[in-house]
Chain A
Amino acid sequence: MTAAYQRRAWVQQIMGMPVSVHVRCDDPSAAHVEHRVAAVFAELRHADAVFSPYRDDSDLSRWQRGELTLHSANVPLTKADAAFAEADAALVKAGAALAEANGTLAEAAAALAEVNGTLPKADFTLAEVVALCEQARLRTGGWFDARADGRTYDPSGLVKGWAVQRAARNLAGLHGYGWCLNAGGDVLVHAPDGRPPWRVGIEDPDRPSRTTGVITVRDGAVATSGTAHRGAHITDPHTRAPATKVRAVTVTGPDLLWADVYATAAAARGTDAIDWLNSLPRIEAQLLTTTGTTHTTTGWSGG
């Protein structure tokens, strides 16, 4: 080792929450590290633009108003390319006819540009998220439900974990580097062989400046749902009332999308969710009830 193993952090506010990236390596100021981290933030901002329920111009809002369809939204890149080519060919013909008709090629080109501009975005992923929400509903026995309140379709509870998981792919390319991505309290980490794992403190919901325990994670996710910062914001999909039995539930697993979904579902379900969590492969959890008792899965390692 020629250089010191250093740690560096970046923080940005995205989706209304702090997102921090910590990188451990010999050269945290190197340009390629900067670029990877910038790509993480850029991808999360893009996800916010697509999925924000608070933005009128998000794809989610437009879909809910009927201005987009999932079919057109979910055109994979190759299909979109084919569609472009097909449309172009058709437009060339149309353009030729137009040019012939009124003799103005410029007008035809303008028409071509206009039609191209109305083709669906190729990187549009709303349909993937909708499909994942349905998968999450089935996997959680209905305790995770994007339609929990019975009025609106809100995939936010899944989008965050999904987006962070995807954005972290930018860091996975940093071979031999350790990294920790924390999105408003949901954590995804990687520590390379021969380097120390990450020590993840579990927040005390009654005193958020303290922790109730620490778990060490080399590769994987830690997600927490609860009422500590935003009150009873999780809706019981069955009663459509705010879920209040769980003060906080922390779930660890191989990926953040599912750890986060399971934590949200467990918070909605209540104390007996710990038995369900115990039955899930590669998932461990700690659940604190509002009455002050702590339940853990058999493999939970948090002190």
Chain B
Amino acid sequence: MRRVTLWVLSTVAVLVLLFTYRTSTMGPTTTPPAAIAAAPGQNAPAAARAGSGGGTYEGSVAQTRWGPVQVTITVSGGRITGVDVPVFPAGNRRDEEINAFALPVLRQETVEAQSAEIDTVSGATVTSDGYIASLQAALDAAHLS
């Protein structure tokens, strides 16, 4: 477990960049695709397939020094039902191990954040490296209210 933690702390910062993209509000009736666009410095356009009160939101592809990263959030009835990372560095076994560890954590906390009905979290100072696995990261991704 400790080794896994160290791997995450040392390299999972790559996924932090997932959250430099912006998404729409998660209100049950508002899913304007226009609210999703590339963050400054990112050229790839973002896309959304929004249905009634839901849809799949694709963040833009962020070029990190480890490789390209992209995150997708699925919304249904104003709630996040899925978090996926279709594009991520997977050049070696270590990358794959990190992804296998970090992504389920992100998904789980996204769901937990919704049930907690909170807007933001106050806690001991989070480092950039620890952000990906934090509740605040899920809240930032989801804009829950």
Task: Tell me whether A167 is interfacial, beta carbon within 8 Å.
Answer: no
Contact of A189 with B124 in the complex, beta carbons under 8 Å:
no
Q: Could you tell me the dominant secondary structure of chain B's interface residues?
A: loop
Chain A residues bordering chain B, tally (CB within 8 A): 50
List, in ascending order, chain B residues with CB within 8 A of A77's CB.
Answer: none
Q: State the Cβ distance, A185 to closest chain B Cβ, in Å.
A: 4
Contact of A229 with B22 in the complex, beta carbons under 8 Å:
no
Convert A129-165 into 0s and 1s, putting 1 for each residue whose CB lies closer than 8 angstroms to a CB of B.
0000000000000000000000000000000000000
Q: State the Cβ distance, A222 to closest chain B Cβ, in Å.
A: 4
Contact of B123 with A185 in the complex, beta carbons under 8 Å:
yes
Convert A1-35 into 0s and 1s, putting 1 for each residue whose CB lies closer than 8 angstroms to a CB of B.
00011111111110011101010100011000000
List, in ascending order, chain B residues with CB within 8 A of A250's CB.
Answer: 122
Q: List 28 A-B contacts (CB under 8 A).
A: A6-B24, A6-B25, A7-B26, A7-B143, A8-B24, A11-B19, A11-B140, A18-B128, A18-B134, A24-B145, A180-B119, A182-B122, A184-B126, A185-B121, A185-B136, A200-B119, A200-B122, A201-B121, A201-B122, A201-B135, A202-B121, A210-B135, A211-B116, A211-B135, A214-B118, A225-B124, A225-B125, A226-B123
List, in ascending order, chain B residues with CB within 8 A of A20's CB.
Answer: 19, 120, 136, 140
Q: How far is the CA of A208 from the CA of B24 in the complex (A)?
A: 26
Q: How far is the CA of A250 from the CA of B124 in the complex (A)?
A: 9
Task: Tell me whether A43 is interfacial, beta carbon within 8 Å.
Answer: no
Convert A209-251 into 0s and 1s, putting 1 for each residue whose CB lies closer than 8 angstroms to a CB of B.
1110010000000111111111000000000000000001010
Convert B104-119 into 0s and 1s, putting 1 for each residue whose CB lies closer than 8 angstroms to a CB of A.
0100110010001111
Chain B residues bordering chain A, tally (CB within 8 A): 44
List, in ascending order, chain A residues with CB within 8 A of B53's CB.
Answer: none
Residue in A16, A198, A248 whose beta carbon sits within 8 Å of that of B124 in the complex: A248
The number of A-B residue pairs with CB atoms under 8 Å apart is: 162
Q: How far is the CA of A227 from the CA of B120 in the complex (A)?
A: 20
